[in-house]
Structures are given as structure tokens and as C-alpha cells.
């Protein structure tokens, strides 16, 4: 039962704390519906109690004494008038909060809701928000207009390149789509009626995607292998060696960058000479035999790594290698061979095709779907049928890169040799 009496400063100051685990309520006879809630710690808070849409609800006004009795009565009177006129102050308050939500807050909510995003994806999204939209972080999402988006897209294309501009805007588009689905007004409808990034489609302003078809040429391979070896030699027990081994695995397996980066030791079977990639792009586990070179590489890495979880550990939240930009930059600088990580997968496929391997074999090595071929659906290929092809591909890479097949790697006289420069190899076991 709520005790009612006229609120005075003397009365409110004298109110005792509530019992443990309870709240005590006192009503004001001077303003029906106005109450003070008292906690076990003695905190006093003004609230309004009234039926809203058939349910008795309490709406917080403010803490006493920061809010005076007269201020509380005035605010209570305003809220009660709204309720009498059919307005729900609770949903209105939520709508106001939704209208004021900032880009940074939307991104935080988006990340919390998308628990299955891979660390690399999260890294890319976070970097896009940091690089492309840092000055928009404190802006309410509703204050970001179509014109602002069009101008920023052009600016990003000039400053960071067309591919990056498109990626940044796709990230922003995803955040707007998330906001449309999650932030509602008092009528239950979205506070955002349209995704303003659509302007880029409506005006055909998206930069045309250029198919990237770069591969490492045979003439690039000696300098590339030498530079990767130099990266490992300068940092044999640190990140340099991790990145060097990672680059070898990418080139000699054709794995996608994220698949190789997240490879766990539990999925490497050194006795069976295989590795298995989980959670692949096509949704199916992908098992590959290990060539002799990769078997030796992973055996050494396991002995060096001890009880680590991932083959290629990194400092990120996931615990594995996320962004090897620095190591890749050193390899490019030392070799003079410009490449991306996906170029290595493309180079693997190109060399495999050049060895006249069956098209179906190359597709299996790359973990591509076999398509709608009815006959292919009846064939259940064994893993061992890939062991000879993967060894042939590795041997071809090592030979063209100035190294001996079968686990022997050559030490280059000039680790920093540029592409096109004559390389003089000296045989020795890679230690």
C-alpha cells in the first residue's frame, strides 16, 4: 500500500531506506500519480504511476534532490496529460532514443548481434568505420544523408581507391539495413524508412568492379621465395616466421586467406599427412593431403609452437593471424613482386591447370562445388587421389622458385634480390 501525503523537503529528507531487496513507494497528494521510490540504500527517485494501454506502469522522472518537488510535479503533469491524450510516454521515449542513435552505437549493436562474424570480417568492418567514417561516429544515423554518402563515396575513391570506397559503402549499407530492422518508432514501424546508401545504386555511382587476375609469374617465383625465406630468417621465433610459413601454405595449397589463417592444430594430422579446413565458404569441410614440403614445414612449426591452438597464432581476439600486412609488405619490398594474398590462390590454380591436371581435380583442390553434373554426383573420390597432384604442384613451385623438391629448400645468396635478377642457389637443408 502506497502511503500518500503532501511532498515537502522535510518529508523526503526524512524517508527511511527500504528493506533489503525491496523498494518503498510514497505518493504525493498534491499531484496524484506522482510518487517517490526509495531503495535500500536510501536513494530517492521521482516516478509517475498510471495505467498505460491497460497496464499499471511507473515512469522514472529523476532523482531527488537533483530534481526538486516542483520540477517533479510539473513533469508528472505533462506526462499525465500525454497519457490522457492517448500518447504512450514509454514508447515515445524509446523512439526518441532510437532517433538519436549514433553510427558508433549502431555498429556496437550490430557487432553484438552478429556473434558468428569471423575475426577477419570484424577487423575489416572496424577498420572501415575507423578509416572511412571516423568523423561520422557521433552523428545520429538519421543525420547521415544521401548527399553526404555520395560525396564521401567519391572522396574515398580518390583517397583510398575505388575498391575500398565500394567496400566501405557496403559496410555502411549493412549498418543501415540493421538499423531499419531494429530501431522502431512508437507505432512499431522503423524510424528509418529508406537506406540512403541506395543512392549509389539509383545513380549508378558504384565503381565498376574490375576482375583481379594477377598471378605470380614463373620469373617472379625465385625472388618471392627468397624474400619469404628472408622474412623467416630475420625473425625466426616471432611473427616474421609465422607469416613466412603462412605464405608458403597459401601458395602450396590454394587455401583462402581466412581458411589458412584460422587453421587449428586439431585439424592437422601429421601421421596421416593431411590438414582439414572447417567452416569453408561452400559450407563443407575441406581436407587436403600434405606434400613433403608442407609436412616438413608443419612438423617444424608444431615442434616450435608447443601447445598452441592455432597453426598461425596472432595477437587478435580470435588468437590466430588476422592481418599479415607488415610481413607481406616486407616480402614485396625485398622481392619487388607485388601481390595480394588471393593472388597466391589464383597462382596455385593457374599452375595446377598448366600441369594438365584434370579440371575436376583442380576444383576439388580448391574446394569448389562440382556443379549440376549428374555423373559427378555418383562419384565419391578418395582423398589419396589428391596426394600425387598436390605433390606435383609443390614440386613445380619449388623447382620454378629455385628450390629442390622433396623437402629441400635452397638458401639464396641475395635474400633481397629483385624480380628479374639472376639468382645463384646453394643447396642446404632448411633448418
Interatomic CA distance for residues 151 and 129, integer angstroms: 16
CA distances to 63, 151, 250, 292, 318 from 270, rounded to whole Å, are 66, 54, 18, 11, 24
Q: CB under 8 Å to 279, separation ≥6 — which residues?
A: 262
| Strands, sheet with 44-52, edge to edge from the N-terminal-most edge strand | 3-4, 24-27, 34-38, 44-52, 55-64
The pLDDT tens digits for 315-324 are: 877 889 988 9
The pLDDT tens digits for 68-121 are: 999 999 999 988 887 777 676 666 666 666 677 899 999 999 998 987 777 778
Contact 59, 90 (CB under 8 A): yes
> Phi/psi of residue 252, each to 5°?
-95, 0
> Which segments within 251-367 are labelled E, that is strand?
268-269, 274-277, 286-289
Bridging pattern class, strands 34-38 and 3-4: unpaired
> Phi/psi of residue 317, each to 5°?
-60, -35
Contact 299, 288 (CB under 8 A): no
Q: Which of 51-55, 227-231, 302-306, 346-350 has the lowest mean pLDDT?
A: 51-55
Q: Which one-letter DSSP state was computed for residue 59?
A: E
Q: Which of 119-123, 184-188, 220-224 has the lowest mean pLDDT?
A: 184-188
Q: Which of 55-59, 393-397, 417-421 has the lowest mean pLDDT?
A: 417-421
311: pLDDT strictly greater than 90: yes
The enclosing H or E element of 36 equals strand 34-38
The three cell numbers of residue 190 are 522503423
Interatomic CA distance for residues 293 and 296, integer angstroms: 5
Residue ranges of domains in the chain, CATH in brackets: 3-87 (3.30.160.390), 103-202 (1.10.150), 218-428 (1.10.443.10)
Residue count of the chain, please give it.
Answer: 431
Give the largest CA-CA distance in the chain.
98
User: What is this structure's pTM?
Assistant: 0.58
pLDDT recorded at residue 407: 41
pLDDT recorded at residue 370: 62
Contact 109, 178 (CB under 8 A): yes
Q: Which residue would you say has higher pLDDT here, 51 or 163?
A: 163
Q: CB under 8 Å to 77, separation ≥6 — which residues?
A: 31
The three cell numbers of residue 118 are 569471423
Interatomic CA distance for residues 150 and 155, integer angstroms: 9
254: pLDDT strictly greater than 90: yes
Q: CB under 8 Å to 334, separation ≥6 — which residues?
A: 223, 226, 227, 230, 231, 415, 416, 417
The pLDDT tens digits for 255-279 are: 999 999 999 999 999 999 999 998 7
The residue-averaged pLDDT of 217-228 equals 94
The pLDDT tens digits for 398-418 are: 999 986 554 444 433 333 333
The pLDDT tens digits for 358-370 are: 988 999 999 887 6
Which one of 138-147, 190-199, 375-384 scores highest in mean pLDDT?
138-147
pLDDT recorded at residue 375: 47
Amino acid at each position: 500500500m502506497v502511503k500518500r501525503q503532501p511532498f515537502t523537503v522535510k518529508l523526503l529528507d526524512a524517508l527511511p531506506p527500504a528493506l533489503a531487496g525491496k523498494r518503498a513507494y510514497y505518493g504525493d497528494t498534491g499531484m496524484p500519480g506522482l510518487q517517490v521510490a526509495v531503495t535500500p540504500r536510501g536513494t530517492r527517485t521521482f516516478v509517475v504511476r498510471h495505467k498505460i494501454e491497460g497496464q499499471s506502469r511507473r515512469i522514472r522522472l529523476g532523482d531527488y534532490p537533483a530534481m526538486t518537488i516542483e520540477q517533479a510535479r510539473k513533469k508528472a503533469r505533462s506526462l499525465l496529460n500525454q497519457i490522457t491524450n492517448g500518447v504512450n510516454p514509454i514508447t515515445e521515449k524509446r523512439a526518441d532514443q532510437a532517433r538519436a542513435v549514433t553510427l558508433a552505437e549502431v555498429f556496437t549493436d550490430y557487432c553484438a548481434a552478429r556473434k558468428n562474424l569471423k575475426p577477419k570480417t570484424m577487423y575489416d568492418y572496424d577498420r572501415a568505420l575507423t578509416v572511412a567514417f571516423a568523423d561520422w561516429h557521433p552523428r545520429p544515423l538519421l543525420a547521415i544523408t544521401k548527399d553526404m554518402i555520395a560525396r564521401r563515396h567519391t572522396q574515398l575513391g580518390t583517397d583510398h581507391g575505388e575498391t575500398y570506397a565500394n567496400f566501405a559503402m557496403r559496410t555502411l549499407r549493412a549498418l543501415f539495413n540493421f538499423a531499419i530492422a531494429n530501431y522502431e518508432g512508437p507505432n512499431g514501424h522503423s524510424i528509418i524508412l529508406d537506406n540512403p546508401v541506395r543512392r549509389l545504386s539509383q545513380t549508378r555511382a558504384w565503381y565498376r568492379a574490375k576482375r583481379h587476375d594477377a598471378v605470380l609469374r614463373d620469373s617472379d617465383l625465385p625472388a618471392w621465395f627468397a624474400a619469404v625465406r628472408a622474412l623467416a630468417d630475420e625473425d625466426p621465433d616471432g611473427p616474421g616466421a609465422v607469416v613466412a610459413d603462412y605464405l608458403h601454405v597459401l601458395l602450396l595449397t590454394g587455401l583462402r586467406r581466412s581458411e589458412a589463417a584460422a587453421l587449428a592444430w586439431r585439424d592437422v594430422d601429421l601421421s596421416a599427412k593431411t590438414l582439414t579446413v572447417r567452416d569453408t565458404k561452400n559450407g563443407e569441410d575441406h581436407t587436403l593431403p600434405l606434400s613433403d614440403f608442407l609436412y616438413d614445414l608443419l612438423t617444424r612449426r608444431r615442434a616450435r609452437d608447443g601447445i598452441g591452438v592455432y597453426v598461425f597464432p596472432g595477437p587478435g581476439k580470435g588468437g590466430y593471424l588476422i592481418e599479415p600486412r607488415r610481413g607481406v609488405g616486407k616480402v614485396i619490398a625485398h622481392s619487388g613482386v607485388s601481390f595480394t594474398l588471393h593472388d597466391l590462390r589464383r597462382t596455385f590454380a593457374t599452375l595446377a591447370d598448366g600441369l594438365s591436371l584434370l579440371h575436376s581435380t583442380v576444383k576439388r583442390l580448391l574446394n569448389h562445388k562440382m556443379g549440376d553434373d549428374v555423373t559427378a554426383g555418383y562419384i565419391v573420390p578418395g582423398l589419396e587421389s589428391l596426394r600425387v597432384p598436390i605433390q606435383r604442384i609443390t614440386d613445380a613451385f619449388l623447382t620454378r622458385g629455385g628450390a629442390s623438391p622433396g623437402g629441400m629448400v635452397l638458401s639464396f645468396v641475395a635474400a633481397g634480390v629483385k624480380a628479374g635478377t639472376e639468382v645463384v642457389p646453394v643447396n642446404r637443408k632448411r633448418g
